[in-house]
A = this chain, B = another copy of it.
Amino acid sequence: MECVSFLPLSHLAICGGTHGNEMSGVYMVRELRKQKLEKAGSVSITTVLSNPRAVDACKRYTETDLNRCFTSELLSAPITDLTPYELRRAQELNAQLGAKGSEEAVDLLCDLHNTTANMGLCFIFYSLDWVTLHIYKYIESKITSVPVRAVQLDIPVSEAYSLESVGKRGFTIEVGPQPHGVLRADIFNMVKEAVDLTIEWLQLFNSGRTFEGGELESYTLTKSIDYPRDPTDNEITAAIHPQLQDNDFKLLQPGDPIFLSFSGETVKYEGEELYPFFINECAYYEKKIAFHLARKITLTFPSISVKKDQE
């Protein structure tokens, strides 16, 4: 494959607190602001505390999940007295970050999340993009202390509902395990390293370095599994089985235990071999998701470099 060139990536937005009880992002943004990190060489940096009301209340959201408000339709919906706080805030953030789909949008938007699942350090992509895959590959090669993985949720950009879809390019950094409302130094340091390396990559790219093409492994969401429930009251009747708990990204095979009921019975997996992730994520109880399942695929990407003035 030949080398593909892109315009310089001069404007980076780093967002935390999109979910107000996910503390790594909240404290990462606060720390960057304390350091007054507004420019790093060729890269100007905007830091955003996405949902300040939810952060103050230490809740995921106050009225509706902010990270489901960034579809083109919702971003252009008229504001009325009944509009939830988070939708107002989504429109405010969209204006601040240059407007989704426009030339003014930030070049790269990096949204910081954490999970109670044992996910290590994950990059979540909503669309395939060679630049963000290169950033992932760079970070994956540099961080050896924890597993680094790519997760792909393919959604057309107009339907993409999450904050990072506002940037020209974007990804979510998801780290875990960490309880909501709690800050762990090991998890905080993972986020810090990933953010530092993202900024480093952008500077190298803008300065003219060519990044070689190659391959990477990615997990593509295929379906979600709910907890067993009592049909009379819809309450869950089982927890994630101890043999599945904390084993995110370990291949699940037919017959493997997935749930342990409160009265002691094991529920086994029936289905094709797939990779579980977001196992026992706190916020997914209300979404009726016990875990997601993914297929592992190999992605090939070309060499890239910055577009020179004469091009």
Contact = CB atoms under 8 A, between A and B. Distances in A.
A190 B57 CA distance: 31
B263 A31 contact: yes
A247 to B, nearest CB: 13
Contact of A282 (B27, B30, B182, B188): B182
- Residue among A31, A58, A186, A260 with the most chain B CB within 10 A? A186
Report the copy number of this chain in the oligomer. 2
Interface of A: 27, 30-31, 34-35, 58, 116, 177, 179-186, 188, 235-236, 239-242, 245, 260, 262-263, 280, 282-283, 285
Given A30-B235, A31-B262, A262-B31, A240 B184 contact: yes
A245 B186 CA distance: 9
Contact of A239 (B34, B183, B260, B285): B183
Contacts of A235: 30
Contacts of A30: 235, 262
A256 B204 CA distance: 39
A165 to B, nearest CB: 27
Nearest to A177: B179
A182 B31 contact: no
Given A27-B239, A34-B262, 17 more contacts: A30-B235, A30-B262, A31-B262, A116-B179, A177-B179, A180-B180, A180-B282, A181-B282, A181-B283, A182-B282, A183-B236, A183-B239, A183-B280, A185-B260, A186-B242, A186-B245, A188-B262
Contact of A181 (B35, B188, B242, B285): B285
A268 to B, nearest CB: 15
Given A30-B235, A262-B27, A280 B188 contact: no
A250 to B, nearest CB: 17
B282 A184 contact: no
